[in-house]
Amino acid sequence: MDRKELLERGRNVKAELGLKRDGAPEIIPGFDDFIAEASFGNVWDRPHLNREDRMICTLGILGFLPQPAALEQMVGAALDIGLEPRTILETFMHSGLYAGYITTESAAVIAKKVFDARGLTISQDPVASATNEELDRRGIELMQKLHGPRAEKGYGAGDNPITSKLYNNAIRYGYGELWFRPGLDHRQRMLVAIASFTSIPLESQLRKWSPSAMNIGLTEDQVIEAVIQTAPYTGFPRALNALVILTEVLG
């Protein structure tokens, strides 16, 4: 495919997502076409992940970046392709596990502005209440399903008296609570995790979690694409560094 065809494809992808300029002239000559070709024609339209999956990866990243205008526009695009408001909010909440929950609150405020403008209400499906013992049990079960023997290595080692002071809470509220909330399934939450680890970046977590993705329904190609999807938003170098890690751990 030549560049003219790639540019046209990128423009079509942007149109499908509803990402249109507000009519203001572009400041950098040729920037719109560059983004259409390099980001939307060459990343968003790649195989192995559908539009919804790529949107979830993108929202997870934008949720912790200080780019409110871009986030607001992307929330609108997410709604346009069929994502539910609850799914969008859960994506912010999940990425907040890795980037800090203050980012979740900020992203949710921006999302609600978009919801309100469209007259949308947020699903108030109750979150199942569980005891601490139940959270710990299912957290450990999910952790073992994901990571197998690797679950108890590094900062997850149960005999580490220092990391266990925090990691036990990570098991309870991360694995045991967050991963079981409605709005995102486990496969989608893994996409948010891989994109977040690439973008923050958290290299040790990416090493641990990328092989685990296959235990939750993703393919190696889909893990690779979740990393590639981050490139237009947090930079090609971070994505390339993450792909080197995938080469090592999946190779």
| Same domain as 36, residue 59 | no
| Same domain as 110, residue 50 | yes
| Same domain as 97, residue 55 | yes
Residue in 229, 242, 240, 250 with CA at minimum distance from that of residue 55 = 229
> One-letter amino acid identity for 96?
G
Give the pTM: 0.94
| Same domain as 103, residue 20 | no
| Same domain as 77, residue 7 | no
Name the residue range of residue 147's domain.
Answer: 132-173
Segment 71-113, tens digit of pLDDT: 999 999 999 999 999 999 999 999 999 999 999 999 999 999 9
Does an H or E element contain 178, and which? none
Please tell me the total count of domains within the chain.
3
Name every residue whose Cβ is closer than 8 Å to that of residue 144 and which is 6 or more positions away in sequence. Answer: 151
Segment 108-160, tens digit of pLDDT: 999 999 999 999 988 776 666 789 999 999 999 999 999 999 888 888 887 88
